Chain A
């Protein structure tokens, strides 16, 4: 190696340091600007009406996104009913028996699945539920969301279950407790906060999903009475109002964005806090 003068090496070091710091600033800057706008526009547009009213017809001021908030909550709830058990118990399989080729294939598929664009999940839900049921529905929307949830819950739960010390499980097995009871009463139980963390993150992820709902739940300007009807969702309303030409609707979209961001950060922070308190 050719020896270079120390000044050159120091200059290279200094410029690399500056470049790394500069890159970090460039990365954080737009994000801080986005935050600033969401908070500023959101706070000035939000009011009690936002949570209690449904959108007003074009041109009328006021209105809210109550039906979107409720719709999102209902669809996330139904998606969780299906997605969480599958993800969590699938993860139990991977931790307890997952040493073979099949388990590796499952892990790999889960990782690949979580990288598939969510709009494709929406198309699949459309042809599997909307076409046979002859209409857009909240059911189809929840189905699409549950498909997105499953791989996320599976992988995060497995990570958490793997952290349970083997000695704890061995102690239970040595006492003659069958493996299945050990799994539920010892492994899952001691990893409970971790599992909840994973669940919260998965919910945070699907709460903001818009693309898979476009042609499943479709959205609704009014309250939905049945699960087989089109249903409003908060992210869908943000999308529709953002691309509309009306100033009033833009304001509602900002308010919706603020609510969504606060919700997601709340969930993330709760997840982090739970994850942390376990180790201390």
Chain B
């Protein structure tokens, strides 16, 4: 039976071939991490912990520390998540529980399309439309009425932490919404029907049957959104003002980790400068790895056959 022997041999080759390609995913992940660690070693050994706690960034003196970038990334992402989460959950509930099927499907399709718009286009709109508008209306309003708070002090520049928060919020809402929608659709209808049969109003049904069931999945979606916000580069770079200062005021320009990489990495003059930027990249990689790990764990526990990639 030469034919079947050939088949078995072919199968073994095919299996090995596809396994090799599939494993490349793991190789890529390890390779990326190794490469980032290797390139940041000079900076790590020279600056140590000072790199995270200090705020000097001086390419001439070769003295680098990243606190302002860390601060900018953390503050902008967290504020954006705080604004985006209620909006996203509300929209996802509207799509799955409230809207007539066709309206829900149309809204969902629109949200999906929006998640696909490249960040450079959000940035273009942000810098040419949103920041001038913030500068002429929103920021003067905030200064006039809430200027006694430390968060709204200073002059209206337009480009600012506030602009970054807004643009990030607009960008991550579609992502959180579409994943939350998937999670909510996985809630068994028997749970919902039981609540309705007991005489619950629609809101009570959502509160008692839908949200508790989807809790960990929604948390996963929010954490995934956080990961996106922290790693978001182009749009933020275009509207945040790129000034490495730590300021409580949301109206002052700031800087984030991806932005400083985007602005300086192509034009580094010294090895140490490049290595310092690599270390910022390494911190960013580490943070996003942890965040994605957590998010995927939560999401996988909800829907075993989780759709990856697109989200």
Instruction: Tell whether, in the assembled complex, residue B232 and residue A117 are in contact, meaning their CB atoms are under 8 Å apart.
Output: yes
Instruction: Tell whether, in the assembled complex, residue A37 and residue B129 are in contact, meaning their CB atoms are under 8 Å apart.
Output: yes
Instruction: Tell whether, in the assembled complex, residue B121 and residue A250 are in contact, meaning their CB atoms are under 8 Å apart.
Output: no
User: Which residues 259-311 of B have a CB within 8 angstroms of A?
Assistant: 261-262, 265-266, 277-278, 281, 284-285, 288-289, 291-293, 295-296, 300, 305-311
Q: Give a binary string over B117-136; 1 marks a CB under 8 Å from any A CB, 0 the rest.
A: 11111111101110000000
* B234–chain A nearest beta-carbon distance, Å: 5
Residues of A within 8 A of B60 (CB): none
Instruction: Tell whether, in the assembled complex, residue A117 and residue B233 are in contact, meaning their CB atoms are under 8 Å apart.
Output: yes
Question: A19's closest neighbor in chain B, by CB?
Answer: B90
Instruction: Tell whether, in the assembled complex, residue A115 and residue B227 are in contact, meaning their CB atoms are under 8 Å apart.
Output: yes
Known: A19-B90, A105-B26, A109-B26. A117 touches B117 (CB 8 A): no
Residues of A within 8 A of B120 (CB): 208, 210, 235, 238-239, 242, 257
- Please measure, in the bound complex, the distance between the C-alpha atom of A110 and the C-alpha atom of B91, giving whole angstroms: 28
Residues of B within 8 A of A116 (CB): 32, 231, 285, 288-289, 292
- Please measure, in the bound complex, the distance between the C-alpha atom of A159 and the C-alpha atom of B308, giving whole angstroms: 9
* B8–chain A nearest beta-carbon distance, Å: 7
Instruction: Tell whether, in the assembled complex, residue A106 and residue B231 are in contact, meaning their CB atoms are under 8 Å apart.
Output: no
Instruction: Tell whether, in the assembled complex, residue A154 and residue B121 are in contact, meaning their CB atoms are under 8 Å apart.
Output: no
Whether, in the assembled complex, B62 has its beta carbon less than 8 Å from a beta carbon of chain A, the answer is: no
- Please measure, in the bound complex, the distance between the C-alpha atom of A181 and the C-alpha atom of B39, giving whole angstroms: 44
Residues of A within 8 A of B122 (CB): 34
Q: Which of A86, A96, A180 contacts B10 (CB 8 A)?
A: A180
User: Which residues 149-167 of A have a CB within 8 angstroms of B?
Assistant: 150-156, 159, 162
Whether, in the assembled complex, A61 has its beta carbon less than 8 Å from a beta carbon of chain B, the answer is: no
- Please measure, in the bound complex, the distance between the C-alpha atom of A92 and the C-alpha atom of B3, giving whole angstroms: 23
Q: Give a binary string over A40-78; 1 marks a CB under 8 Å from any B CB, 0 the rest.
A: 000000000000000000000000000000000000000
| Residues of chain B at interface, number, CB under 8 A | 101
Instruction: Tell whether, in the assembled complex, residue B238 and residue A21 are in contact, meaning their CB atoms are under 8 Å apart.
Output: no
Instruction: Tell whether, in the assembled complex, residue A123 and residue B116 are in contact, meaning their CB atoms are under 8 Å apart.
Output: no
- Please measure, in the bound complex, the distance between the C-alpha atom of A154 and the C-alpha atom of B24, giving whole angstroms: 11
- Please measure, in the bound complex, the distance between the C-alpha atom of A188 and the C-alpha atom of B228, giving whole angstroms: 32
Known: A120-B281, A150-B24, A178-B8. A92 touches B107 (CB 8 A): no
Residues of A within 8 A of B292 (CB): 111-112, 115-116
Whether, in the assembled complex, A183 has its beta carbon less than 8 Å from a beta carbon of chain B, the answer is: yes
- Please measure, in the bound complex, the distance between the C-alpha atom of A47 and the C-alpha atom of B7, giving whole angstroms: 58
Known: A26-B87, A117-B232, A151-B308. A242 touches B128 (CB 8 A): yes
Instruction: Tell whether, in the assembled complex, residue A120 and residue B32 are in contact, meaning their CB atoms are under 8 Å apart.
Output: yes
Instruction: Tell whether, in the assembled complex, residue A27 and residue B177 are in contact, meaning their CB atoms are under 8 Å apart.
Output: yes
Whether, in the assembled complex, A191 has its beta carbon less than 8 Å from a beta carbon of chain B, the answer is: no
- Please measure, in the bound complex, the distance between the C-alpha atom of A126 and the C-alpha atom of B90, giving whole angstroms: 42
Instruction: Tell whether, in the assembled complex, residue A208 and residue B121 are in contact, meaning their CB atoms are under 8 Å apart.
Output: yes
- Please measure, in the bound complex, the distance between the C-alpha atom of A202 and the C-alpha atom of B238, giving whole angstroms: 25
Instruction: Tell whether, in the assembled complex, residue B293 and residue A94 are in contact, meaning their CB atoms are under 8 Å apart.
Output: no
User: Which residues 1-52 of A have a CB within 8 angstroms of B?
Assistant: 9-10, 12-13, 16-17, 19-24, 26-28, 30-31, 33-34, 37-38
Whether, in the assembled complex, B74 has its beta carbon less than 8 Å from a beta carbon of chain A, the answer is: no
Residues of A within 8 A of B87 (CB): 23, 26-27
Whether, in the assembled complex, A265 has its beta carbon less than 8 Å from a beta carbon of chain B, the answer is: yes
Question: A29's closest neighbor in chain B, by CB?
Answer: B170
Instruction: Tell whether, in the assembled complex, residue A17 and residue B98 are in contact, meaning their CB atoms are under 8 Å apart.
Output: yes
User: Chain B interface (Cβ within 8 Å of chain A)?
Assistant: 3-4, 6-8, 10-11, 13-15, 17-19, 21-26, 28-29, 31-32, 35-36, 38-39, 86-91, 93-95, 97-98, 107, 109-114, 116-125, 127-129, 170, 173-174, 177, 201-204, 206, 224, 227-228, 230-234, 238, 258, 261-262, 265-266, 277-278, 281, 284-285, 288-289, 291-293, 295-296, 300, 305-311
| Closest 6 pairs (CB-CB, A-B) | A208-B118, A117-B231, A23-B90, A178-B7, A180-B14, A155-B308
Return 28 A-B CB contacts under 8 Å, by A number: A9-B204, A12-B203, A13-B203, A17-B202, A30-B170, A34-B121, A34-B122, A85-B21, A86-B24, A93-B22, A98-B22, A102-B23, A114-B308, A117-B258, A118-B231, A147-B28, A155-B308, A159-B305, A178-B8, A178-B11, A209-B118, A238-B121, A239-B124, A239-B238, A243-B238, A257-B120, A257-B121, A265-B116
